[in-house]
Amino acid sequence: MKLPDYFEPGPLLGQGGMGFVYRVRDARTGCFLALKVLRSEFLSDAEFIVRLKREAEIAHRIRIEGVARVLEFQVDSPPLFLAYEYVDGDSLANLLHTENFRQAEWVVHFYSKLLTAAAGLHSSGIVHRDLSPLNVLVRRMNGNPVIIDMGISRDLERSAITAPDELLGTPEFCAPERIRGEPDSPSADLYAVGLLIYIGLSGANPFVRDHPTKTLMAQVEWDPPPITSLRLDLPEGWDVFLSRALDKDPVHRYPDAARMIEALQELDFRRESRP
């Protein structure tokens, strides 16, 4: 089996356990696409095919600024592929430890936009469930974030595909309630954004341990140090903001993305110098 002839091949953008992502040109429109081609061995995994179809359906129907949309897909027969709109940019994973993401001004600007995109998903009844740096692209043109990879997202109006004891996602960014097996909610995405902010400002993920299981347990049991103990230039308001964003109990976090944006934009950028 081969891909449709109108996909003109281009460079490999990335690869992982699920397959490969290429930049291709759609000869019908002249537009570039990010073509996600899945490994053939997944064809025999019925549960995976169900999950892939869900990703395709969700990402195809949404039209939200800051969320990459699937323009075309084939998931019922080989070759399996998802054709996403192409984003000219870089992964947040490659940029999170750069100087920009240590600057409070940029943090407020960038994550306000990321939270706005997340709010669009949540208002559509969708929780992404894996807002890790690998699933956020940064546009080269304007530095704006774009959420990608809806592979384990949850449509709250439908039943879960995963079993109650199955945890999908990136352990380093998994909200405590998901680890505890509690129901999904938009708060899990807000937690992940709070953790992205903490990592960029501090330079490290405070929960990472030498084994994924230990990392998950740290998310549930351990509180990170106040950000101002690591960044003496930041006002104490950042401690309050991040403490709420990373609270172990979703009830105590910001109630929605809009309120989290509001709190973020109220923060001062630097500590006032004292005489």
Domain at 248, CATH number: 1.10.510.10
| Residue 268: per-residue pLDDT | 94
Nearest to 83, CA basis, from 38, 35, 26: 35
In angstroms, the CA 108 to CA 219 distance is 24
Cα distance between residue 89 and residue 142, in whole Å: 9
CA distance 5 to 21: 17
Same domain, 14 and 32: yes
- Confidence (pLDDT) at 48: 77
Distance of CA 10 to the CA centre of its chain: 26
3-state secondary structure the chain: CCCCCCEECCCEEEECCCEEEEEEEECCCCCEEEEEEECHHHHHCHHHHHHHHHHHHHHHHCCCCCECCEEEEECCCCCCEEEEECCCEEEHHHHCCCHHHHCHHHHHHHHHHHHHHHHHHHHCCEECCCCCHHHEEEECCCCCEEECCCCCCEECCCCCCCCCCCCCCCHHHCCHHHHCCCCCCCHHHHHHHHHHHHHHHHCCCCCCCCCHHHHHHHHHHCCCCCHHHCCCCCCCHHHHHHHHHCCCCHHHCCCCHHHHHHHHHCCCCCCCCCC
Q: What is the pLDDT of residue 235?
A: 96
Please report the pLDDT score of residue 158 as a whole number: 42
Residue pair 251/241 in contact (Cβ under 8 Å)? The answer is no
Residue 68 · residue 33 · CB < 8 Å: no
Judge whether 1 lies within some domain.
no
pLDDT for 192 beyond 50: yes
Q: How far is the C-alpha of 136 from the C-alpha of 144, rounded, in Å?
A: 10
**Do 78 and 168 fall into the same domain?**
no
pLDDT of residue 6 exceeding 70, the answer is yes
The pLDDT assigned to 32 comes to: 97
Residue 11 pLDDT exceeds 50:
yes
Whether 212 and 257 map to the same domain: the answer is: yes
Q: Is residue 72 situated within a structural domain?
A: yes
Residues 137, 71 share a domain: no
- Count of domains for the chain: 2
Residues of the domain holding 202: 89-265
Most confident residue range from 117-126, 146-155, 250-259: 250-259
- Pick the last residue of a domain from 85, 100, 120: 85
Q: What is the CATH number of the domain that holds 14?
A: 3.30.200.20
Residue 274 lies in a domain: no
Task: Provide the CB-side half-sphere exposure for 78 (13 A, CA).
Answer: 10
Question: Does any domain span residue 196?
Answer: yes
Domain ends where: 85, 111, 132?
85
Looking at the fold, whether 94 and 48 belong to one and the same domain comes out as no
Together in a domain, 112 and 146: yes
Whether 236 and 162 map to the same domain: the answer is yes
**Does residue 130 have an active-site annotation?**
yes
Label residue 34 exposed, middle or buried (CB < 10 Å: 0-12, 13-18, 19+). buried
Q: How confident is the model at residue 16 (pLDDT cuts 50, 70, 90)?
A: confident
Are 141 and 259 in the same domain? yes
Evaluate whether residue 256 is within a structural domain. yes
- Of 42, 57, 85, the one marking the end of a domain is 85
Of 130, 149, 184, 189, catalytic: 130
pLDDT value at residue 157: 41
pLDDT, tens digit, for every residue of 196-247?
999 999 999 999 999 989 999 999 999 999 999 999 999 999 999 999 999 9
pLDDT given at position 156: 40
Q: Is residue 246 part of a domain?
A: yes
Q: What is the structure's pLDDT at 165?
A: 40
Is the pLDDT at 275 greater than 50, yes or no? no
Instruction: Provide the pLDDT for residue 167.
Output: 52
pLDDT tens, residue by residue, 23-75 = 999 999 999 999 999 888 888 888 878 877 877 887 788 899 999 988 999 98
User: Same structural domain for residues 59 and 189?
Assistant: no
Does residue 160 lie in a domain region? Answer: yes
Same domain? 23 vs 152: no
Q: Are residues 102 and 13 in the same domain?
A: no
- CB burial of 92-128 (b: ≥16 within 10 Å; e: otherwise) equals beebbeeebbbbbebbbebbbbbbbbbbbbbebebbb
* 134-172: pLDDT as tens digits: 999 999 999 999 998 875 455 444 433 333 344 557 889
Answer whether residue 273 is part of any domain. no
Mean pLDDT for 96-114 is 97
Same domain, yes or no: 211 and 250: yes
